[in-house]
Amino acid sequence: MSSESAYSVVAKFMEDYQVKTSQKLKIIDLYLGYILITGVIQFVYCALVGTFPFNSFLSGFISCVSSFVLGVNLRLQVNPENAKEFKSIAPERAFADFLFAHVVLHLVVVNFIG
Amino acid sequence: MPKVAYFRVTPERQQILLKGLVLSICCVLAFCVRLFSVLRFESVIHEFDPYFNYRTTKFLTEEGFYSFHNWFDDAAWYPLGRIIGGTIYPGLMVTAATIYKFLHFINIPIDIRNMCVFLAPLFSSLTTIVTYLLTKELSNSSAGLLAAAFIAVVPGYISRSVAGSYDNEGIAIFCMLLTYYFWIKSVKSGNVFWSVLCSIAYFYMVSSWGGYVFLINLIPIHVLFCIITGRFSHRIYVAYTTVYCVGTILSMQISFVGFQPVQTSEHMGALGVFGLCQIVSFVAFLRKKLSAANFAILWQTMLYLIGGVVIAAVLVLTVSGKIAPWTGRFYSLLDPSYAKNNIPIIASVSEHQPTTWSSFYFDLHMLVFMFPVGLYVCFKDINDHNMFIILYGVTSMYFAAVMVRLMLVLAPVMCILGAIGTNHVLTSYMKNLDSVQVVKEKKGPKGSKVDNTYPAKNEVAIGVVLGLTLFLGLFATHSIWVTAEAYSSPSIVLSARSGDGGRIIFDDFREAYYWLRQNTPEDAKIMSWWDYGYQITAMANRTIIVDNNTWNNTHISRVGQAMASTEEHAYEIMRELDVDYVLVIFGGMTGYSSDDINKFLWMVRIGGSTDRGAHIKETDYYTPTGEFRVDSEGSPTLQNCMMYKMCYYRFGQVYTEQNQPTGYDRVRNAEIGNKDFELDVLDEAYTTEHWIVRIYKVKDLDNRGNPRT
């Protein structure tokens, strides 16, 4: 047990991930990673420069968080391992819902960004 | 009996037809039962708050949305003014204005006042439909029909949505149930489409009522309980995260809400559960991917790391004040004695008092008994959505017990759970009826129908079904009686029966407000107690000092000091506030008991609660034995204060009842103590026909600078 550290567990996990996940899911994961980086950049910028105007910061940051969340939801619904939980949702329907949610989200974000 | 097709209509179509018929009858009933006051009096806006909503709606239809959103009103809270655009929930006004514009577009020229009066009954019909849909999702369609019938007539909901009661709650209940319907749909299906619809409905709810805080805490509590009981699944994750993210940014579009969803404690629960969802999902994901031993190692490191970061962050934010503590209004829900001890203004509103036992039965009748039955049925086959309705029922039960006004939030869930319970009982016993048994038995021998372990099955079933039917009938009768007697009074017009049975109408309020409108200069400023502020601005169209918004306690306290001080002191305060006219409500002549003398002690308490009112002590206005009396034994401070003088000026020469001396106050049932006095700083301007409203003009400074008193 002592030879296994947290680091080696993580390394093994990454290796497993590379091998086992399908191309579709990896694309979504890449997209999620990109949004995460954008969100972090926004937050660090706000911490450095200050929160005025607060509505713009909130709008941008919540846009990142929501896009991340919607991406995760899409990944969950498209993943064939979860098929029995999301019985009636075909991948195409999941993607259409994803687009619909994004339309609503970005309408609000653009209104709020001021 | 086998299902027969009548008129070439298949049994399925029959069912749909029957359901549609019952539902339409419920809708029409919901609309019609709320029309009592329109039939008895006229189509007029009731009470106090609706007059403000009516005035803002009129402004919206005349000036357009941009002027409405940026409106700064200088006619209220003189000399401070009020930013109306940023301090109201615009949903109600926008809804009324939209329907009004649409009707005008298709050439139905309805008046804006009628639109406002009939909006609440219209939305109750829509609420009936949404309740049916919600209960159908939770249970089945027969329970749904029962719930629709219940909510069409339940007095707890009618009290705030009667025709003429143009208030936020009229549409808020519809929005709330719509949000819950979409939430249950999204939890059941895990579809992002329903979650987005839920957020949009939530946005509509936020725009209509301050009670949206209940929703944004109930939904996270539901998710939390699902996590605790191990029901957390991908569907709930998808539903909640979408609703929270899209819903929060939508809710911040309302100016009044502003940045509260990320800054105040009332919204932190939702954020906390959101974070918890992420953590639980991530942990479940890791657990699935890694072997047990590997997972245990990773788990430990992560736990310490993340736990430490979160606790540090929360501490820093709370201590540095970035997260505001609970505001007074909501804090008083958790600690009911808080308002009474610290904020007299909140404690004085009659709707904020704790609910009595009799109110529960009065407002809900049979549902009080069927509610636990429904809870039991939900517990029996518990699943994700049943848990939601159980939580909703229990939490709203607590809040309705704390504040009478929140009985409104309890009424829909009582209807739903009561319907589920009643439906369960009726279905179980209907199965035992002899006439139904035949289908199951097919061609079995006659003797097999008798079940020896359950004697008199048929008779018991008939008894229970008849009994429940009787209860349902009594419920309907009681509800309609309550609506007609208790909840259909416009408050602005009173009526009474004279000795010969004829009806006397007291229209004094409107008489006084129209006198003000027609006989005072346009820039006159009126001082009255805050209750009447909205009505004065809407009907008399004059500037006022304080109104029902009660946002500035110091200003109201100043008015309270003026009412409770002697004429000399009050004159200083009135000159400071630039007051031209003073208005008081007096019920002693007619026996109208909600007058200013009965509210006077609240004026004293609020007046004495700020620094400049330190000379006003409540005990000065009582007799040495601690009673509040207006006759000759009353305290001299009371008999010389301005409110007393304004109410009883010239009253000492009036005979009000047979066999009583002059100046007999019919509300306090006493002959007043201080009868013959003159006013030094006021002139009587107008007293209405039944002496209910009295208006006085404040005298200008003396010509040669001598003091008036």
B320 touches chain A (CB under 8 A): no
In the numeric block, the tokens 């539902």 are attached to B23
Alpha helices in B209-327 (DSSP H): 212-228, 234-251, 260-263, 268-289, 292-319
B195/A108 Cβ within 8 A: no
B4 touches chain A (CB under 8 A): no
Q: Provide the token pair at B238.
A: 């998808």
Question: ipTM, 2 decimals?
Answer: 0.93
More confident residue, B334 or B705: B705
Comparing CA positions, the residue from B13, B37, B48 lying closest to residue B351 is: B48
Q: How many other C-beta atoms lie within 10 A of the C-beta of residue B189? A: 18
- Distance between CA atoms of residues B545 and B525, nearest Å: 7
Can you give the pLDDT at residue B178?
96
- Residue in B with minimal Cα distance to A95: B192
Can you give the pLDDT at residue B332?
67
Can you give the pLDDT at residue B443?
45
Can you give the pLDDT at residue B90?
94
CA atoms within 13 A on the CB side of B686: 20
Comparing CA positions, the residue from B540, B502, B545 lying closest to residue B518 is: B540
Least confident of A26-30, B291-295, B374-378, B550-554: B291-295
- Distance between CA atoms of residues B371 and B378, nearest Å: 11
| CA dihedral of residues B342, B345, B347, B350 (deg, nearest 10) | 180
Mean pLDDT of chain B: 87
The H or E element containing residue B671 is strand B670-671
- Distance between CA atoms of residues B530 and B507, nearest Å: 20
In chain B, the percentage of residues whose pLDDT exceeds 70 is 90
B234/A82 Cβ within 8 A: yes
Nearest to A85 among B190, B193, B297 (CB): B190
Q: How many other C-beta atoms lie within 10 A of the C-beta of residue B200? A: 18
B249/A101 Cβ within 8 A: no
- Distance between CA atoms of residues A108 and A103, nearest Å: 9
Q: Provide the token pair at B584.
A: 């008081």
Judged against a pLDDT cut of 50, whether residue B356 lies above it is answered with yes
Torsional sign, CA B542, B547, B553, B559 = positive
The residue of A46, A74, A97, A98 whose CB has the most chain B CBs within 10 angstroms, and thus the best one to mutate to test that interface, is: A97
Comparing CA positions, the residue from B469, B453, B354 lying closest to residue B403 is: B354
- Distance between CA atoms of residues B295 and B310, nearest Å: 22
More confident residue, B502 or B341: B502
Written as tens digits, the pLDDT of chain A (114 aa) is 444 566 777 788 788 788 877 888 889 999 999 999 999 999 999 989 988 888 899 999 999 999 999 999 998 888 887 777 777 788 888 999 999 999 999 999 999 988
CA atoms within 13 A on the CB side of B161: 33
What mean pLDDT comes out for the span B283-304?
72
The residue of A8, A76, A98 whose CB has the most chain B CBs within 10 angstroms, and thus the best one to mutate to test that interface, is: A76
Interface contacts A/B by beta carbons within 8 Å: 100
More confident residue, A72 or B332: A72
Q: Provide the token pair at B21.
A: 């018929």
Confidence of residue B330 (pLDDT cuts 50, 70, 90): low
Comparing CA positions, the residue from B473, B397, B2, B52 lying closest to residue B214 is: B397
More confident residue, B438 or B558: B558
